[in-house]
Structure 1
Amino acid sequence: MPNPTAAMLVIGDEILSGRTRDSNTHHLACALTAAGIDLAEARVVRDDASAIANAVQALSAAHTYVFTSGGIGPTHDDITADAVARAFGAAIDIRDDARAILAAHYVRAGIEMNAARLRMARIPEGATLIENPVSAAPGFIIRNVHVMAGVPKIFEAMVASVLPTLTGGAPLISRSMDVYRGEGDIAGPLGDLAARYPQLSFGSYPFQRGGVYGANVVARGQDEGALDAAMADLTERFA
C-alpha cells in the first residue's frame, strides 16, 4: 500500500525575493520521511490572496496532507488565514479560544494585547488549533491543510505537535555509496540496477574531490532487503 502524500506551500514575498532563505521545507521533508509520509510537492507563492487560495485548493485535492508556512502574524501582509478560509468558503473571525491563549500569553509577558496582536486570533470556522509553545499564536488545521508559522523555530514546534496526529506509512530508507567514475560511465549500469530493483529509486549526484571525479549513488525504498542487495550489486560492479 503506498504511503500518504503531502505537499508544502511556502508563502511570502520575502522568500521569492531572496531576502529570506526557506529552511522549513527541508525540516518538513525530513520529519515526514521519518513518519512514512511522502513529501511529493513543494510550492512557493507570493503574498497574494488569490495565489494562496488557488494553491491551497489544488494541493488539498491532490494530496493526503498539506502544510503551509508563513503569513499568520499580526501585520497587514499576513493574509494566509483569510486566504485559506477563502479557499474552503469558510467564515473567519476572532475565536474565543485563540483569543484566550493570546491574552494569557501577553499578560504573562507584560505586553499589551492590541488590535494587531488580536488579528492572530482570527481562525476559519471549523478549524482545529495547532499549539504554539514558542510564541503562543496558534496555527490551525482545516480539512487536510495545516497552517503554520513561517519563523523556523515556531514552524518546527508546530510540526512536532502535529506529526503524532497523522497516519503515516513505511518510513523511507536510504543507502549511499561513492563511485569514483564519471556519471557517463555509471549511467548504463545504474539503469540496469534500477530495472532489476523496480521497488527502489536511485539517484546519482556528481562530485569532484582533489581533482578526481565521481558520483554519490543513493538508493531509496521501503524494502531493506532489496536495498542491501542493490548496494551489494553496486559494490561488486564498481569495486
Structure 2
Amino acid sequence: MQKMTRSWFRFGLVALAVPLASGTAFSGDIVQGDQSEYNPVGTVIYWGGDLANNQNDQTSGGIGAGFTTALDGDLGQSGWIVSGYLGGGWVDGNTSRTDAAYGSLAAGYLWAAPDYYVSLQAGVHFVNNNESPGGGPTDGSEIGALFQYSFETTRSNAFYAQSYGSLSTAFEQRYAHVKTGYKTSTFTYGAEFTYLDSEDSGDTKRYGAFVGNIPIGKLSMTIGAGYQQESEPSLSDGVYGTVGFSVPFPIR
C-alpha cells in the first residue's frame, strides 16, 4: 500500500518550532546592561522545502509557508501565541503517487526563560490526499485536532538542544524531531533525528546533520541532510535534504 506523503511532517509540523526558535533568537539577544538594545519581535514568517530520494529512485518532497505571532507583541517573552501553516507535497513511487495539501491553525502559550523556552499549542489540522491508485485508508480529506510542543536552548557559545513534535488526529499523524549540537553567537550546528508516522503505514526515521540560524541579510536560513530509513515494505531507504528560511517582523 502506498504510504501517504511524508513532506507534511517535515514542514507542516515544523511550523511550530521554526518561528519560535527564530523569533527567540532575533528578539532575545540583549547587550548586557543596556536594555535599549532589545528589539522585540512580534511575528515571524517562515517558508521552506523538503526533498528525499531512495535507492529505487522513488522521490518525495514538499513546500510550505507559515507564521507565528505573539499576542503581546514579543516572542522573546512569555505569553500567548498563534501560528498558521499552508503547504503541499508528494510521494512518487514506481507504480503509485500521492499528492497532498495541508494546513493548520493553532494557539497556545510560550514560556520564555533566560536560557531556553518551552511552548505548547493546540488547534485544527486539515489534510487532503489524492492517491493514485486510490481507495487507501489515507486517500481523501480529513480534519482533526492538532497538539504541538517545542523546546529550545537559547544561550550563545554553549551546548545547543532543540526538540519539537506534534500529534494530529487527521490520519493519525505523529512527528518528533531532536537537534543537539553547539550554538555560536551567529549560528547553530550539530546532529538531528526525526521520527514520523501516519495511519496504516510504516514509520520513517531520519539521521542527519544541520546548520541553522545562518544569517542572510534580514533572513535566517537552516539546512539539513542525512540518511532516511523506511519501515514501509513498498519504500526503500535513501537520503533527504531540507532548507528553511524565516524573517522577523517587529510589531512595536
TM over 0.5: no
Decide which structure has greater helix share: 1
TM-score, normalising length: structure 2: 0.28
Larger Rg: 1
Decide which structure has greater strand share: 2
TM-score, normalising length: structure 1: 0.29
